[in-house]
Amino acid sequence: MKISVTVNGTVHESDVEPRTLLVHYVRETLGLTGTNIGCDTSSCGACSLHLDGEAVKSCTVLAVQADGAEITTIEGLAVDGVLHPMQEAFRQNHGLQCGYCTPGMVMAATSLLKENPHPTEAEVRIGLEGNLCRCTGYHNIVKSVLACAAGE
């Protein structure tokens, strides 16, 4: 099926199999491998990206469903080599270790702050419960998101 999607500001016209998941389309057709795959049950959130401005798990969306949509992946977050404030907050607060959950976590966190610009610690924890991390114990991820919200 023919689809047209805008990914990180660039329009892509593609012919995809109907069963292709958005995450596979982004990774394999567009070569944007920053979006990671960590599970097969939509549990881990490693594949989170922005679909029309909202964080979604791209393993739960078919590529054909994204026809006409605007998508931002982790590769589209930094501008001209300058990290997005959320990326910078993760860096400053050691909010990542192995980095595998990080793109999804950052995309989910930016979406969280868009909905709730000044969350409490508990709200950050609940807001990120769809994204799993095995390295950090979440302590510094939560700290990063709170720091970003505070403009630090």
Q: Should residue 72 be labelled a site residue for another protein when binding is judged by CB under 8 A?
A: no
Site size for another protein (CB under 8 A): 55
Q: Should residue 75 be labelled a site residue for another protein when binding is judged by CB under 8 A?
A: yes
Q: Smallest gap, in angstroms, from Cβ of residue 117 to another protein?
A: 19
Binders of another protein among residues 110 to 139 (CB under 8 A) are: 121, 124-126, 128-139
Q: Should residue 31 be labelled a site residue for another protein when binding is judged by CB under 8 A?
A: yes
Q: Smallest gap, in angstroms, from Cβ of residue 128 to another protein?
A: 5
* Partners of 5 in beta bridges: 12
Smaller CB distance to another protein: residue 68 or 152?
A: 152
Amino acid at 47: C
DSSP element (H, E) containing 15: strand 10-15
The rounded distance, in Å, linking the Cα atoms of 148 and 26 is: 27
User: Residue from 72, 102, 110, 111 that binds another protein (CB under 8 A)?
Assistant: 102
Alpha carbon 97 to chain centroid distance?
Answer: 17
The rounded distance, in Å, linking the Cα atoms of 148 and 22 is: 28
The rounded distance, in Å, linking the Cα atoms of 151 and 19 is: 41
Q: Should residue 103 be labelled a site residue for another protein when binding is judged by CB under 8 A?
A: yes
Q: Which two tokens stand for residue 45?
A: 């959130």
The rounded distance, in Å, linking the Cα atoms of 98 and 101 is: 8
Residues that bind another protein (CB under 8 A): 27, 31-44, 46, 73-75, 77-78, 83, 87, 90-92, 94, 96-103, 106, 121, 124-126, 128-142
